[in-house]
Amino acid sequence: MILNRASNLRFDDPSERGLNNLSSMFIPIWRDKNLFLNGNIPQAVMLKGEEGQWLVENATQIVFLGVKEGTMFFCADISHLEKVDATPLPAKTVFEDLRSIATSIEPEEAGYLAYARALAYWNRTHLYCGRCGSPTESKKSGHERHCTSKSCECIHFPRTDPAVIMLVTHPSEDKCLLGHNKRFKGLRFSTIAGFVEPGESLEHAVVREVKEETGIDVSDITYKASQPWPFPASIMLGFRARGTTTKITCIDEELIEARWFPREEVREMAENQDILPPSRYSISRWLIDSWLNEKINTPVVNVKFRR
């Protein structure tokens, strides 16, 4: 069941927010990391009862996330603590970066953690007004921040930065364009991606990013799907596009290498987890797999994106 964000329950008065309810669930955040059970198989840790109440008493920011089956969910940011070893958190738990674990846990659970992480980050990095520099105060249970200056009174909201990610096919449709980013580890190749710039449509962003990164011109741009990527505050908008040129030139040096990969070679790459993006809940891999499945007329795998 997807979390009901219940915006009508985003109260400013803490006494109305259910913080003292022992059944309320709290997702702890420490310096942009989520809490997991330390073991071979990652398991997210959410706290309630006395452990949850310790978070209420010690967190610098509590954000209401929503309701699921009558249970209220909150984010609790304890990033101000120098160390968490001496805290009464459950034994054998550790704070880890969600980006390295998200594809190993259930998408619904990963969505809750990402939601909490994103709002904790936004509140922690917007303590001062971007317009006048005055302190801000949290409102609407952590979903707004209001400037305290009477001459400004600017209201700030969490932002989401749109980014396009696209699978580009060869003019002959029997190859696809994949690149190796300088930030990738090992031999990883993936689809082309980049942020949308001010005053730019999504389609224009697709054309520009592909051209800037690979020198390839594209047409037949089609929107396919989206995936939240709050690291720290993005949403990936997935597209397909067809190349109208074939000569590759990695112009802006973001990519170390880009190549046209034949379909059969991509199938072989898909069998190696270290070459293509992870197959679980990755929109990049979903775009690739969708293209692979088109040729043999098999159903496209229904990927469940995190919310």
pLDDT digits (tens, 9 = 90+) for 37-80: 988 888 999 999 999 999 999 999 999 999 999 999 999 999 99
Secondary structure class of 121 (helix, strand, coil): helix
pTM of structure:
0.85
Provide the token pair at 129: 């007004």
283-300 in b/e burial notation, b at 16+ Cβ within 10 A? bbbbbbbbbbeeeeeeee
What is the per-residue pLDDT for 260? 98
What is the per-residue pLDDT for 5? 94
Cβ–Cβ under 8 Å, residues 152 and 225 = no
Measured between alpha carbons, how far is 146 from 151 in angstroms, rounded to an integer? 12
Cβ–Cβ under 8 Å, residues 256 and 190 = no
List Cβ neighbours of 147 (8 Å cut-off, separation of 6 or more): 129, 131, 132, 134, 135, 136, 153, 154, 155, 156
Name residue 93's amino acid.
T
What is the per-residue pLDDT for 12? 76
Backbone angles phi, psi at 260, to 5 degrees: -85, 120
What residues of the chain score a pLDDT lower than 50? Answer: 297-307
Closest CA to 204 of 167, 250, 241: 241
What is the per-residue pLDDT for 302? 46
Closest CA to 212 of 251, 244, 267: 251
What is the per-residue pLDDT for 304? 46
What is the per-residue pLDDT across 140-187, written as a single tens digit (0 to 9) for each?
999 999 999 999 999 999 999 999 999 999 999 999 999 998 888 778
Length of the chain: 307
Q: 25-30 and 71-77: which strand pairing?
A: parallel
What is the per-residue pLDDT for 301? 44
What is the per-residue pLDDT for 103? 75
Cβ–Cβ under 8 Å, residues 37 and 45 = yes
Cβ–Cβ under 8 Å, residues 48 and 24 = yes
Cβ–Cβ under 8 Å, residues 135 and 148 = yes
Measured between alpha carbons, how far is 19 from 11 in angstroms, rounded to an integer? 11
